[in-house]
Structure 1
């Protein structure tokens, strides 16, 4: 049994099950059983499965930000700081997943909800923050207009690569996308 508070264990169990099996395919009983807590404990920590899903999405976002911040702290050049976004995605793809890497957990979750659902809006905000991080780092190397355009290109490159990496179960596409981005940065 894992250590930590009931809330932490519930979030950890939900993260594994939502990523591996999907949000809608994962029931509350599965999560509470894997977390080793009573169903009442789930409702003492989350008012509903929807609130648990929201906490999962926020947790995945914070996890990615942590990976990015760790990489960014070691970057020595502006180009390196841009590439840390790619590196954080690669780090995520290299994590140990029970059923293998299946792509971006946030996009996988968002795909299960209809347009306009709060979960989709939260995932969109995360993706927009990633693009802002790219813009901020690119502005050191290019004009504001160029930085905005290149950040959008890099976002498309990242999202396409993570989708393909998820389908293929390997980070190779993300590594290739990073190499493309590196060549684009060298051309600035």
Structure 2
């Protein structure tokens, strides 16, 4: 059994199962069994599976922000900070996944819910924050209007690469997207 509080073990188990098997395909019994806790522990920490899903999405968001912060801290230029966004996604793709890389865990989760569902709104907020990070770094390299447009382009490039990398189970498309982004930045 893993170390940590029941809440941490439940979130870790949910993260693995939701990413590998899907949110709707993963039952509470599977999560509690993998976490090594009683079902009562789950309900002592989360009022429902929906609250656990919300906590999972928030944890994935924070996980990506941490990856980005680590990469961005090593960047010496605005262009390097833009590329750090791609590097954070590559880092996520390089993480050990027992069933292989399946793409963005947040988008995978969002795809299981209908339009307007709070889970989809949380994922959208994450993607908007990623685009905002891109725009903020691009603003020092070009006009505000061009930075916003480029941020959207980089967002599309990034999301397409994540989707293809997830389908192929390898970060190769993300690495190619990073190279394209680097060439675009050099042309500014």
**TMscore range, shorter length:** over 0.9
What is the CA–CA distance in structure 2 between the aligned matches of 1:163 and 1:21, rounded to whole Å?
17
Note the 1:35-114 alignment, pairs <5 A. 35-114=35-114
TM-score, normalised with respect to structure 2? 1.00
CA drift at 1:167: 0.1
Distance in 2 between residues matched to 1:10 and 1:115, nearest whole Å: 27
Q: Distance in 1 between matches of 2:10 and 2:83?
A: 33
**1:173: Cα distance to partner?**
0.1
Cα distance in 1 for partners of 2:33, 2:24 equals 17
Deviations 1:67-120 (A, max 9, x none): 000000010111001000000000000000010000000000000000000000
What is aligned with 1:9? 9
Per-residue deviation, 1:174: 0.2
Unmatched 5+ stretches in structure 1: none
TM-score (norm 1): 1.00
* 1:14-71 Cα shifts (integer Å, max 9, x gaps): 0000000000000000000000000000000000000000000000000000000000
Question: How far off is 1:129 after superposition?
Answer: 0.1
Deviation at 1:179, TM superposition (A): 0.2
Aligned length: 188
- Does the residue aligned with 1:112 lie in a helix, a strand or coil? coil
> In 2, Cα distance between the equivalents of 1:153 and 1:120?
22
Tell me which residue corresponds to 1:167: 167
Q: Distance in 1 between matches of 2:129 and 2:17?
A: 26
Residues 91-170 of structure 1 correspond to what in structure 2 (within 5 A)? 91-170=91-170
2:184 alignment counterpart: 184
| Stretches of structure 2 lacking an aligned partner (at least 5 in a row) | none
Shift >4 Å, 4+ stretches? none
Quote how far apart the aligned CAs of 1:159 are: 0.3
What's the Cα RMSD here? 0.3
